[in-house]
A and B are shown apart, each in its own frame.
Chain A
Amino acid sequence: MEEQQHSAFGFDGSWKGYAPIAFTNLLLMIVTLGIYRFWATTRTRRYLWSHSRFIDDRLEWTGTGKELFLGFLMVILILGLPFFILQFGARALVMRGHAGIAGLLGFASFLVIFYFVGIARFRALRYRLGRTYWHGIRGGSDDAGWSYGWSYMWKTIVGMMAIYLLVPRAMMSLWNERWNAMSFGPHAFESKGDYRPAFKRYLMFYLLPLIILGCGIVFAMFVGVGSIMMGGGAPGGSPIGALLGVLFGVGIYGLFLFIGLSFYAIFIREAVGGLSLATLTFAFDASTKDWVKLFLGDIALVIGTLGIGAIFLQYRHWKFFITHLEAYGDIDLDRLTQSDTKLSKHGEGLLDALDVGAF
């Protein structure tokens, strides 16, 4: 197949086209006490996938609400019930004065949850690839993610040591490990993301507090002098000073957010850029500015609609993801044969139950 002039990926959905789905999903979730959300997720994905084009054809989502629901039920039964009982047991232990044992139990369950969060992330990706079709071909993985769970645990813990300096390295290493276990059709993904290009921006997290401290001292002096000038240091301080204080606080928060987004922009660019599938390579071209716009747009949408707009966030994020995604290379359609990976019968219940985001 010849290489396309335009982007290999395209999105032709519209918020007006999605709105009927979003609003009916919300209605049905309310009247079912939230149980409909599994079917809602499926409807949303079917819309988003079917309006996403790769080269000459759209993607197709074949997951079902039922499998998501069953997955969720399974996790509640296998993980939720023992934890509920454990919680009561821990209370009893504390009341009997064995606070130490209760604490140990609590720590052990924390570790178990930690391990399963890793597995959940892995399996969510596997599930999503397994339910995504293009030209009648799907992806998947034969790895169940058990060993990834261990990697997730120790890499995260090591990343946090040495004042969190190893976090980017751990993040990228986990990204690579996840994707290297995935495949599409007969081809395995190859992931060689490098954390180093994003590391300089990550270091800004350490520099910023020093800058803020400096600004804070200057600011305090300014307010101090100001309030003396305005009438001898009233106990409440001047309203202008208070306003400046609030702006200062918001500014600090905004700066940290900005650093986070600028780091993430490069991180994702490198992560996706290191990904290849047979003769295809991928790229992600969202700049820090794009991420900031996405984020501010999200906030404006949610606040401006008093929260209702939140039902469009998934749409916005998917559109952002697809429009900035790029692929290069040729695909041999004859050799892109059906995936023979095992398809799990249940959805991403683990992820759902543990409430962590994938991707």
Chain B
Amino acid sequence: MPLTERIEAHPWHYDGRNANRWTPLLVGDVETFTLKGEGWDAGPYCWADLIALDAPAGEHVFGLKDEQGWRLGFPGALPEDLAALLPKPARYGGFIDRIGLGRASAVLAMAAAAVVFVGVKAPGWIAPLVPQSWEDTMGDAMAGDFGGRICHTKEGTPALRALVRQLDPHGTARSIEVANIGMVNAVALPGRRIVLFRGLVEQAESPDEVAGVLGHELGHVRHRDTLTAMMRQLGLSVVLGGMDGSTGSQVNAVLGLSFSRDAEHQADLAAIDAMRASGISPVPTAAFFARMGGEEAPAKAKGKAKSTTQPGRSIEALDWFASHPSSTSRQQLFANAAEKGRRYRPALAADQWQALQKICSADKAVKPGFDFGF
């Protein structure tokens, strides 16, 4: 190693202690250098401790490790011996500079696609592995007893049980109840719990319509869709947290939408299966969707339904399943599921149906309904 190779240069220099601009003589070898000013010496410094910084065209500026404000600048082109000792400035940062922008972009794009794919799919893989008891505990913690808004009557409760026995003979759901809430809707909560809203029971024109909706929610419970959706919401908000708030949440909403449409469709199929098994006609459910999709529905839906355009999605606080497939396609699905020549019977006898419809209005102890959405 030529230790004696002498290097000389005339840089400008800030020492980081005051704002004076010095013009010392730089004297060094291949390892270190010293700065010699008028009446002062500084160094020796190691070339290896220099950090390349941005500089205007035709200039080269360096900082020194762990020394704030210390700068060394070389105006004009660098002599070759000096250039070999000085570090190169970073451009994009990190590994992108090492492998090049084009290749780095391709690698990163693939990684991003993989992250999004896993982010969308993983909840569906993980949800079935979560112990059911955990989900049950969480569901109970979240919903409790609905603040005393679950309706019970001597006649209505057995009627509900009778309906449940037909659609869920094996007891997939832990509880199926009617809540004193005016909206025309039903929800599958985490922990195998289904809540039908008073608005739905009262607005339905036959027990078969309620059976269709109940079958649908049972499909969600069976597929553990609620847990999946909650996990996806959590996962996506973490993955997309790197984006600007608005972009991230928009992407989040779109991805959530496409996923839950599939889940909704599967739940509809489950409802049709359950109805077929218990001999309940799917045609009234189709009529129900036709009414819900039609324009007369909002006017008919009394009570506290807030949304006037889409009565099927009026619960803001329970928006995990806010994105159902269009009413028309669902209507067709149920209408086409009717088997020709099969004799269907009503899901409930007339007196049972009457009792179920009055389960909330006849319950004197139940607390009044409330509005979601905050």
Contact among B19, B55, B104, B372 with A336 in the assembled complex (CB-CB below 8 Å): B19
With A31-B108, A338-B16 known as contacts, the answer to whether A96 contacts B69 (CB < 8 A) is no
Knowing A33-B240, A99-B374, A336-B18, the reply to whether A136 touches B69 (Cβ < 8 A) is yes
The B-contacting residues of A in range 23-41, CB under 8 angstroms, are 24, 27-28, 30-35, 37, 39
Q: Are B16 and A96 in contact (CB under 8 A)?
A: no
In the complex, B144 has a CB within 8 A of chain A: yes
Interface size range of chain B in the complex: 35 or more
A-B interface pairs (CB < 8 A), number: 137
Cβ-neighbour of B17 out of A28, A57, A88, A338 (below 8 A): A338
Q: Is B112 an interface residue (CB 8 A)?
A: yes
Residue of A nearest to B141 (CB): A92
Name the B residues within 8 Å of A39 (CB-CB).
Answer: 92-93
Chain A proximity of B51: nearest CB distance (Å): 10
- Complex partner residue of B18 from A31, A103, A133, A333, CB under 8 angstroms: A333
B30 at the A/B interface (Cβ < 8 Å)? no
Contact A337 B17, beta carbon cutoff 8 Å: yes
Chain A CB within 8 A of B146 CB: yes
Check B109 for interface membership: any CB of A closer than 8 A: yes
State the Cβ distance, B115 to closest chain A Cβ, in Å: 7
Instruction: Judge if A299 is at the interface, Cβ distance under 8 Å.
Output: no
Tell me if B87 is interfacial: C-beta within 8 Å of chain A. no
Q: A33-B239, A33-B242, A333-B20 given as contacts; is B55 within 8 A of A50 (CB)?
A: yes
A contact residues around B96 at 8 Å (CB) = 28
Query: Which of B82-115 touch A at CB < 8 Å?
Result: 92-93, 96, 101, 104-105, 108-109, 112, 115
Q: Are B367 and A136 in contact (CB under 8 A)?
A: no
Q: Does B241 belong to the interface (CB within 8 Å)?
A: yes
* B20 (CB) vs chain A CBs: closest residue: A333
Report the separation of the CA atoms of residues A102 and B373 in the bound assembly, to the nearest whole angstrom.
Answer: 11
Most buried by B among A31, A50, A98, A185: A31
Task: Give the complex CA separation of A76 and B245 in angstroms.
Answer: 13
Chain A: interface size category: 35 or more
Whether A96 contacts B145 by the Cβ 8 Å rule is yes
Pairwise interchain contact B147-A96, C-beta atoms closer than 8 A: yes
From A37, A88, A96, A136, contact of B242 by CB (8 A): A37
B54 and A94 within 8 A (CB) = no
Docked pose: A59 CA to B19 CA in angstroms: 13
Chain B nearest CB: distance from A325 CB in Å?
Answer: 19
Could you tell me the distance between the alpha carbons of A334 and B21 in the complex, rounded to whole angstroms?
10
- Assembled-state Cα–Cα distance A106/B317 (Å): 14
User: Could you tell me if A96 and B144 are in contact, using CB atoms closer than 8 angstroms?
Assistant: yes
Max chain B Cβ within 10 angstroms of own Cβ: one of A56, A331, A338, A355? A338
- Complex CA distance for A236 and B371, rounded to whole angstroms: 38
| Cross-chain contact A97 with B146 (CB below 8 angstroms) | yes
Residues A88 and B15 in contact, CB atoms below 8 Å apart = no
Residues of A within 8 A of B317 (CB): 91, 94-95
Given contacts A33-B239, A96-B145, 16 further A-B contacts (CB under 8 A): A28-B101, A28-B108, A31-B105, A33-B240, A33-B242, A50-B56, A51-B56, A56-B21, A65-B93, A91-B142, A95-B143, A96-B146, A97-B146, A97-B370, A136-B15, A333-B20
Closest 3 interchain pairs by CB? A97-B147, A136-B14, A136-B69
